[in-house]
Amino acid sequence: MTINKEMTVAEVLSLDRTLAGIFLQHGLMCLGCPSASMESLEQASMVHGINLDFLLKDLNEAYETDHQ
């Protein structure tokens, strides 16, 4: 499984709730807001001024480490 820019925050968290920490480290604090289930990671990154490439790298590394 690869986490990609089209996925929503809610979809990523449904894969693994512990990934919430990665979002928080990157400054994405609204994990439970309505936008978390509607905006793609790409959209959320733009809105919050987050580097999408770094976010995806960290999410995928953490997910792969926990789900090998």
Every domain of the chain and the residues it spans: 9-66
Which among 14, 6, 2 has a CA at the least distance from the CA of 43? Answer: 6
Residues 66, 18: contact at Cβ < 8 Å?
yes
> What are the per-10-residue average pLDDT scores of the chain (68 residues)?
96 97 94 89 96 99 93
- Return the DSSP state at 33: S
- The whole-angstrom distance between residue 62's C-alpha and the CA centroid of its chain comes to 11
Give residue 63's identity as a one-letter amino acid code.
Answer: Y
Q: Is CATH 1.10.3910 the classification given to domain 9-66?
A: yes
Global confidence as pTM: 0.93
